[in-house]
Amino acid sequence: MKVVLATHNRHKVEEIKSILSDLPIELFSLDNFSEIGEIIEDGSTLEENARKKAQTVFQMTGLLSLADDTGLEVEALGGRPGVYSARYSGENATYQQNNEKLLQEMRHFPPDKRLAKFRCVISIIGDGIDEIAVGEVPGRILNEVRGKNGFGYDPLFVPDGYEMSYAEMNSDLKNRLSHRARALEEAKKILKKLIRNSGGFPPTSLPVL
What's the full length of the chain, in residues?
A: 209
- Per-residue 3-state assignment (H helix, E strand, C coil) for 69-119: EEEEEEHHHCCCEHHHHHHCCCCCCCHHHHHHHHHHHCCCCCHHHCEEEEE
Interacting span for ligand ITT (CB under 6 A) from 2-10, 55-63, 104-112, 122-130: 2-10
Q: Which of 1, 9, 33, 75 binds ligand ITT (CB under 6 A)?
A: 9
101 binds ligand ITT (CB under 6 A): no
171 binds ligand ITT (CB under 6 A): no
Give the nearer residue to ligand ITT in terms of CB position, either 75 or 196. 75
33 binds ligand ITT (CB under 6 A): no
Q: Which of 4, 12, 63, 122 binds ligand ITT (CB under 6 A)?
A: 12
95 binds ligand ITT (CB under 6 A): yes
Contacts of 139 (CB under 8 A, 6+ apart): 115, 116, 117, 118, 157, 158, 159, 160, 162
Query: Exposed, middle or buried, 152 (CB in 10 Å: 0-12/13-18/19+)?
Result: buried
Among candidate residues 69, 130, 160, 172, the one labeled active-site is 69
Q: Which residues bind ligand ITT (CB under 6 A)?
A: 7-9, 12, 41, 68-70, 85-86, 95, 98, 150-154, 166, 178, 180
